[in-house]
Structure 1
């Protein structure tokens, strides 16, 4: 049932925001406030870098035509209150319900550095050309992004020498020991060197993603490479909320209730990486948040009490492909954490990076 006159403003069109506006489009007047011209399937960005001709365009789902009834405003938000959103242009969007879904930023190439699909595609092709000519690659950061980037590079250029450095003493701390053992074994098989407990004494003088002579030291040990990438430094996109609707925690995240309301605000919600929910920041979690909030807003629109609550997984969840043929994963079960066999990692994510799922979910062809 469509409820004319009820406006839902959704700030941010990433994994959570995009799922939410699709879910509510037929039930309310939805306004998506998002400066990008397309939904970006960021999980595919590292393969878009290593295989741009085959993969880059598959990452982008244009917002043009994304909604049947709602509208998309290519704007940044500069402020939020209980009744609406102030845009960077100075205009204001009045709304009955507001959902904040601006997520996190991350250094390129894990996330794009432009709001334009055309420019993002050009960036991937430019960096691909820089990477193609490099024999030695340095990756700073051994989290999922650094590991996945190394795997994608090896899938295309198995001869390249790859070194990953990280100050952590172990890979993927907090996950099961069996997963870490399997991860080390696969990295060794791929010929990827990992130096743990090591911090770069200084960042390379060369810009990340640009070919050039990289000569650094880590704990006074020299490291040389022909290109390097930064695979750390996630930041919460909450600058527009610093003087606003609720106090942010030290990570810049919003406090939310189990129903995903911003604390103290019945008609304002937050989803995805922007929340202070105690869990890994994953696309799948953002999608689950969106389902909870969609149900609660629909209940409120229909004069009912919102009842849906979100329960984070008690088990740390991860699927980390190392290219299309390798990777590790951990999922919850009734008996606790379960390590995924490599075949499941490949099937669920490694082979197509879940592009099939998003093609179906958004009922759109990727950008041509």
Structure 2
């Protein structure tokens, strides 16, 4: 009988793990969404509705032999996965690739194509109606969202507030921080660092309604739309007691160098869910999935296991369609022009190829 592999989660890591093992095992990918959602581009889709349909890619062409089940894992234990539909699936190996969760702009809610499209269009309508926008958090999400808003609505006041004393917390070269700060200033984005709000807005996040707030250093901000650009979580409620034992204070699962969940021989965790010491990016999730799949293949066919080597810090920030900056050790600093060219289509062709969707 064929070895049974269940991949829980159809994001950046899950699709790579499933596709890589499709020729050597009976693969089942469990994913509640109707389509793959290219989260890296969802901020562009909120600012520009023409992107909404492009960032959703069908799973139909992902697997030649395996299957994609549109369902939700409710209980995952070594050797089995229980689903919301009531089914219980047995597995020889499990790859956990459940990603992260959170409200917009951390993630986009909705499982169906129609729900995602409606949310993105509603968000665009709110942004279009707003007269001034407040973003809490100057991390990658807050900075990129500020750039998208300022580029799509020139002259619209956008304020970013974060208690950290400097952009990117010193993890990157000063050239990158300086250039991002300059471009944000050129776009009219006001960045207030080293301070936080005395109290959050009374208006619900994402709702257009006038409000006034004050920061700890006495700065008054008047706006009518705000978002919290932080607070992503790693969902682990579906994990059985054997897997919960590996959960760290951060909420992530401790893994070995081979990406096995600590204490487990046949359960692997990739992407946002695990505790590898690196920035959590789609690129890292994909590479981890390759290593986890290679190790499952080695366990099936015989052969040495591969140790995963975390990526060094690297990030490319887009600030609207024509701006941004980036850095990676292998190519150094990227200016606005190079960043805009690199992120012109957010690598959509690459992910469509991974999913077997063509161009």
Measured after TM superposition, the shift of residue 65 of structure 1 is 4.4
Cα 1:33/1:276, change in 2 over 3 Å: same
Alignment partner of 2:7: what SS?
strand
Partner of 1:137: 133
Q: Distance in 1 between matches of 2:293 and 2:246?
A: 24
Q: Distance in 2 between matches of 1:20 and 1:171?
A: 34
TM-score, reference length from structure 2 = 0.95
What does 1:190-209 correspond to in 2, within 5 Å?
190-209=187-206
Measured after TM superposition, the shift of residue 365 of structure 1 is 5.4
Contact residue 78 and residue 242 of structure 2 kept, 8 A: no
- The counterpart of 1:98, out of the listed 94, 99, 114, is 94
- The counterpart of 1:228, out of the listed 226, 244, 257, is 226
Contact residue 279 and residue 312 of structure 1 kept, 8 A: yes
Residue 56 of structure 2 corresponds to residue 57 of structure 1: no
Partner of 1:305: 303
Partner of 1:340: 334
- The counterpart of 1:17, out of the listed 8, 14, 29, is 14
Q: Distance in 1 between matches of 2:28 and 2:322?
A: 40
Structure 2's unaligned 5+ residue stretches are: none
Contact residue 58 and residue 355 of structure 2 kept, 8 A: no
Measured after TM superposition, the shift of residue 74 of structure 1 is 2.1
Contact residue 45 and residue 110 of structure 1 kept, 8 A: no
Measured after TM superposition, the shift of residue 107 of structure 1 is 2.1
Measured after TM superposition, the shift of residue 39 of structure 1 is 0.9
Q: Distance in 1 between matches of 2:18 and 2:141?
A: 28
Residue 351 of structure 2 corresponds to residue 353 of structure 1: no
Q: Distance in 1 between matches of 2:164 and 2:227?
A: 18
Contact residue 246 and residue 261 of structure 2 kept, 8 A: no
Q: Distance in 1 between matches of 2:358 and 2:104?
A: 25
Residue 251 of structure 2 corresponds to residue 252 of structure 1: yes
What count of residue pairs does the alignment treat as equivalent?
356
Measured after TM superposition, the shift of residue 338 of structure 1 is 2.4
Q: Distance in 1 between matches of 2:100 and 2:237?
A: 11
Structure 1's unaligned 5+ residue stretches are: none
What does 1:56-135 correspond to in 2, within 5 Å?
56-135=52-131
TM-score, reference length from structure 1 = 0.92
Q: Distance in 2 between matches of 1:339 and 1:238?
A: 37
Alignment partner of 2:246: what SS?
coil
Q: Distance in 2 between matches of 1:266 and 1:67?
A: 25
Partner of 2:321: 324
- The counterpart of 1:183, out of the listed 180, 185, 199, is 180
Alignment partner of 2:116: what SS?
helix
Measured after TM superposition, the shift of residue 254 of structure 1 is 0.8
Would you identify which runs of 4 or more consecutive aligned residues in structure 1 move more than 6 Å? none
Instruction: Provide Cα deviations, 1:289-318, integer angstroms capped at 9, x if missing partner.
Output: 01111111112221x1342111012x3111
